[in-house]
Structure 1
Amino acid sequence: MRAPNYPLACALAEAGWNNSETARRINTLAKQRGHCGVAVDRSRVSRWIRHGEKPRAPVPELLTDLLTRQLRRPITPDHLGIGPSRNVLIVLEPREHHALATNAAAVNMPVEHYAQALLRLALTNTTAPRS
């Protein structure tokens, strides 16, 4: 089981949509665009949020288009945690893993999420324009 998808949950809450409303909107837009194989229901949306499942194409595109319109700002599948997976394997020494796990527990985060946050912070700090 994957971790909950908090970015998606927050975006849907900001839009004011529950799982049923989200599913209805996706299905309507899919039909308008000629995607006859799309049939999303509230339980599927719930699994995306609660279990971190990722919807299959074309749903990520449909959902981001809907939320971009509703929230009046650009939304991408990556913003919602439903973009394509890009796994990276990092081998840690036992003491490094222990330190990572200890710090993650201190901030009440799963180790994987804590490691992702650290990596994103490091990448942001190294790719930012320097004065």
Structure 2
Amino acid sequence: MSKAKLAAFAAALVMAVASNASAQSAQAQLKAPPHMTRARLIVWCKNHPTATADCKEVRGDTKEIRSDRKEVRADRREVRKDIKAGDKQEAKRNAKDLRADRKDLRQDRKDRRHDVRDLRKDKDAGK
């Protein structure tokens, strides 16, 4: 094999491995509709420059949802701890924080659903 062919083969192999690795990381975060596989949605995101921004928004919303879930769990623990300790005022304050965090979680879920919906509309329009 010539050096040029060997270099082209090595570059193609590296690109294939790199594309598979990034596709796997994004695959867990996107929820594809029943008629479309996740792999197709991911490939579409990579091939359309306007879609990469939408995909980034979906990933960002997913991260926000995870952090909000952690906050809600922590707030619930604090409320339980305050109730066990008999501190009503602190329990009320923590319950208020819990309500606010649950509201943030609902909003982030709504934003993510909206971004995924936009992504699917863009994908369907691109056919």
Determine if the TM-score, normalized by the shorter chain, exceeds 0.5: no
Which category describes the TM-score, using the shorter chain as reference length? under 0.3
Bigger Cα Rg: 2
